[in-house]
Structure 1
Amino acid sequence: MTRAEKFSKFCQLHSREGAFVMPNPWDAGTARLFADVGFEALATTSAGCAVSAGLRDGTAAVTRARLLQNAREIVAATALPVSADLEDGFGLTPETCAETIEMAVEVGLVGGSIEDATGGPEGGVHEIALAAERVRAAAEAAKGRHFLLTGRAENYLWGRPDLKDTIARLQAYEEAGADVLYAPGLPDLEAIRTVCAEVGKPVNVVMGLRPPFYSVQDLAEAGVKRISVGGSLVRLAYETLQKATAEILRTGRFDYAEGLMPGAELMGLMRDAPLEQRDG
């Protein structure tokens, strides 16, 4: 499937009735598993990319090159449209955000998000005018290139629970050219419903970040179009591994292996490496 075809499919998901779920694989293997389950689109996760490299998320530890290589591998793993968590665009200036979008297109992505968090361990969000200019530059870079841009307002992730300001930011990003709007961490369904009513573009929400958790139907009825799960499946996987290995040390038993997916079934979801990539 060409990028243009993937982009067309991705746009259709945002224009049809109801809401769709876009899970977040953190490598090629999880991308293939999620595609096999039946999802119609995927999104990368900066948290998953970070912890897979033994790094912390949200501290600017993951380089743009590493994140885009992770995205390239996920794109290559399936025929599904893939959108990327492009963090803060990997730089302060609008020009850097535009460059990041251009590089995202080159690795085969058909969507991606630019957030207004300032990046780094201190946290915080950009002043709204600069944040909108960063989105505007990203939108200009995406224009005509089969790329759906998401503008993210990060207030609720950085200790700024201001719904009015969050909506103003999303409206500014919409005006600047964002195709999808996203404010992770909204506190409840009423806040989600209010956001959806105050903007004119499709809204993404994240589930699995923290309670309360709502159903797809609940969110669709509130006006949500797209649902992602962020790093929650990564946390699930790591928690499962932590519990299983701790149990081995504690009891000397291997009960975790009861009921596992058979190896043949897992391998059946994967693919052979091209001959030119094999050693020997």
Structure 2
Amino acid sequence: MSGAAALRALHHGRAAGDPLVLPGPWDAASARVFADAGFEALATPSAGVSAALGFEDGQGTPPAEMFAAVARIARAVDVPVTADVEAGYGLPAAELVERLLAAGVAGCNLEDTDPATRRLRDPHEQADYLAAVRAAAGADLVLNARVDTFLRGDRTLAEAVARGRLYAEAGADCLYPITAPPELLADFREQTGLPVNALCRAGSSSPRELGAFGATRVTFGGTLQEQAMHVLAETARGLRG
């Protein structure tokens, strides 16, 4: 079974309260830690990888550096890796797919925020891009389509569902209504017909709780890298006495 097929299968047949938990490694060493802990798949966060490379998320991380970092992570582990590649770095769909497959990943996350304006893209244009990615990738990538309406839109379930349905028709495997209130996840999933990714942040609902609310899979954004840096900062302060 290919990495994409294995990752896709992990999204289905899950019991309520048992979502697919995908930790977010930011380099090869952290990826090994998560894989050795027994996680079935990993999801690189653009924020965490960018921070490890010395950049702020969404603020000009060179695509070549991002793909190289993702490739090192994918090579370091024997479980499927899906990569957050923001809005695609302005790459044509075929080139984006080529670079993702060359990096050895099994899936990708694509958001519908325009990186230049920080506003939502036209949903039909985004759906066209997703369809082109699907056509180029075939079954070789699990496509997680991020819906940013709760970040930048009118924050209603109806708006998120409208975009989600377009992205589902374009060939997405999973939808990611980032920062959606947990109590809306089950309705969003039912009305779009696809597995749903939820964001787990410090102080918010746990992965199991998000699963009970309706999440199929749970990711962490840059949270785990931030927590690791906090521990490192405490260690550094201790070294100085």
**Residue of structure 1 aligned with 2:129, choices 134, 142, 145:** 134
- The residue identity in structure 1 corresponding to 2:14 is E
- Per-residue CA shift, 1:104-159, capped at 9, x if unaligned? 01211110021111014x41110111111111111111114x21111111122336
- The residue identity in structure 2 corresponding to 1:111 is G
Q: Alignment partner of 1:14: what SS? A: coil
Residue 196 (1) aligns with residue 189 (2): yes
Q: Which residue of 2 aligns with 1:78?
A: 77
**Residue of structure 2 aligned with 1:15, choices 12, 15, 31:** 12
Cα separation, 2, equivalents of 1:7 and 1:132: 21
- Identity within the alignment, %: 32
1:42-53 mapped onto 2 (5 Å cutoff): 42-53=42-53
Aligned partners of 2:200 and 2:207 also within 8 Å: no
Task: Tell me the CA shift for residue 239 of structure 1.
Answer: 1.7
Q: Which residue of 1 aligns with 2:230?
A: 239
Task: Tell me the CA shift for residue 241 of structure 1.
Answer: 2.3
Q: Which residue of 2 aligns with 1:272?
A: none
- Flag structure 1 segments of 5+ consecutive residues without an equivalent: 254-280
Residue 119 (1) aligns with residue 112 (2): no
Q: Alignment partner of 2:188: what SS? A: helix
Cα separation, 2, equivalents of 1:162 and 1:141: 32
Q: Whose RCO is larger (CA < 8 A, sep 6+)?
A: 2
Cα separation, 1, equivalents of 2:205 and 2:190: 18
- Flag structure 2 segments of 5+ consecutive residues without an equivalent: none
TM-score normalized with structure 1 length: 0.79
Cα separation, 1, equivalents of 2:48 and 2:213: 28
Cα separation, 2, equivalents of 1:77 and 1:197: 36
Aligned partners of 1:197 and 1:223 also within 8 Å: no
Q: Alignment partner of 1:25: what SS? A: coil
Cα separation, 2, equivalents of 1:17 and 1:53: 35
Flag the 1:130–1:159 CA change in 2: closer, same or farther, 3 A. Answer: closer
Task: Tell me the CA shift for residue 11 of structure 1.
Answer: 2.0
Task: Tell me the CA shift for residue 247 of structure 1.
Answer: 4.9
Q: Which residue of 2 aligns with 1:151?
A: 145
Cα separation, 2, equivalents of 1:235 and 1:178: 29
Aligned partners of 1:90 and 1:97 also within 8 Å: no
1:253-272 mapped onto 2 (5 Å cutoff): 253=241
Larger radius of gyration: 1
CA RMSD, Structure 1 to Structure 2 (Å): 1.8
Cα separation, 2, equivalents of 1:43 and 1:241: 22
Cα separation, 1, equivalents of 2:14 and 2:186: 16
Q: Which residue of 2 aligns with 1:221?
A: 212
- The residue identity in structure 2 corresponding to 1:176 is A
Aligned residues: 238
Q: Alignment partner of 1:104: what SS? A: helix
Cα separation, 1, equivalents of 2:51 and 2:147: 23
Aligned partners of 1:47 and 1:56 also within 8 Å: yes
TM-score normalized with structure 2 length: 0.92
Q: Alignment partner of 1:112: what SS? A: strand
Q: Which residue of 1 aligns with 2:178?
A: 184
- Per-residue CA shift, 1:52-94, capped at 9, x if unaligned? 12211122x1122111111100110011000000110111xxx
